[in-house]
């Protein structure tokens, strides 16, 4: 049963926290530590990269509620500054619409920081060559560390598609799907993390369909984020 009172957990950014004594990535960087990055609201515990509901620090200073891969249609919305004892309206948050034939999922990021840190075995993708997806930074000078590493796609799972990214005028966009596919409308799966802000998340994937409120209790930018959370009835 979900808890009646808000529960608390601290998540850590893989951009800052690295695995000690682990072999380096092919790019030469240290391997990021994802052990405290992902959270599962069903179990109420930290989650593995293969299955999670919320991630912190995988894309700059944002929360991520999935990559809209496979049956994951979860969405997130920032409700602004609010506390658990305050009064605020919880909106109905539609899940992502199913993709039309020939359409690819599109995610826009408005940030000046690098979009990096996504594990390439997200959702259990097989045969990942590099446990790190590094998207281009908005800086205009290309380096070997700005290569894009794609998801390993299993022949038995056509739902797992490559990630592609491009940066134009300081905005990085991610497209999940075939190279020539038409982009969908921007997917509301990202929200900038702000202290004392409340977020509503609609988790929709597999047999799961529920709402969660998440409050940012404390934040150390690019390092860690303490949240309190509670599952709630649908608004």
Assess if residue 89 is contained within a domain.
no
Question: Which residues are paired to 218 by β-bridges?
Answer: 226
How many other CB atoms sit within 10 Å of the CB of residue 196? 13
Mean pLDDT of 125-129: 27
Assess if residue 15 is contained within a domain.
yes
* Buried/exposed code over 52-71 (b: 16+ C-beta within 10 A; e: otherwise): bbbbbbbbbbbbbbbbbbbe
CA–CA separation, 56 and 39 (whole Å): 9
- Give 130-151 pLDDT, tens digit per residue: 223 333 322 222 223 332 222 2
For residue 12, the enclosing domain spans 7-84+102-232
Assess if residue 92 is contained within a domain.
no
- Range scoring the smallest mean pLDDT among 5-9, 67-71, 124-128, 193-197: 124-128
Beta strands in the chain (DSSP E): 7-12, 38-40, 45-47, 54-56, 62-64, 75-81, 103-110, 116-118, 133-134, 163-168, 171-176, 182-186, 190-192, 197-205, 208-220, 224-232
Assess if residue 71 is contained within a domain.
yes
Assess if residue 97 is contained within a domain.
no
What is the band of 206 on the pLDDT scale with cuts at 50, 70, 90? Answer: confident
Using DSSP, state whether 163 is helix, strand or coil: strand
Assess if residue 73 is contained within a domain.
yes
40: its two tokens: 């599962």
Structural domain count of the chain: 1
- Give 110-120 pLDDT, tens digit per residue: 544 444 444 33
Assess if residue 2 is contained within a domain.
no
Assess if residue 136 is contained within a domain.
yes
| pTM of this structure | 0.76
Q: How much is the pLDDT for 108?
A: 72
């Amino acid at each position: 049963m979900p808890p009646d009172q808000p529960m608390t957990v601290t998540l850590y950014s893989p951009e800052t926290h690295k695995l000690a004594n682990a072999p380096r990535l092919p790019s030469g960087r240290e391997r990021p530590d994802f052990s405290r990055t992902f959270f599962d609201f069903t179990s109420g515990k930290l989650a593995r990269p293969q299955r999670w509901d919320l991630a912190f620090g995988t894309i700059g200073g944002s929360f991520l509620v999935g990559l809209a891969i496979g049956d994951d249609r979860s969405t997130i919305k920032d409700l602004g500054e609010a506390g658990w004892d305050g009064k605020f309206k919880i909106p109905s948050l539609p899940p992502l619409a199913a993709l039309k034939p020939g359409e690819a999922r599109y995610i826009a990021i408005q940030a000046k920081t690098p979009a990096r840190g996504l594990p390439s075995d997200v959702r259990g993708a097989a045969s990942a060559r590099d446990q790190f997806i590094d998207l281009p930074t908005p800086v205009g000078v290309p380096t070997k560390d700005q290569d894009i590493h794609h998801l390993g796609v299993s022949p038995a799972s056509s739902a797992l598609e490559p990630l592609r990214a491009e940066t134009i005028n300081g905005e990085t966009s991610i497209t999940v799907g075939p190279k020539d596919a038409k982009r969908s409308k921007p997917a509301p799966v990202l929200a900038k993390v702000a202290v004392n802000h409340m977020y509503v998340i609609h988790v929709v994937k597999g047999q799961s369909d529920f709402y969660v409120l998440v409050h940012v209790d404390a934040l150390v930018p690019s390092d860690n984020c303490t949240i309190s959370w509670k599952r709630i009835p649908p608004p």
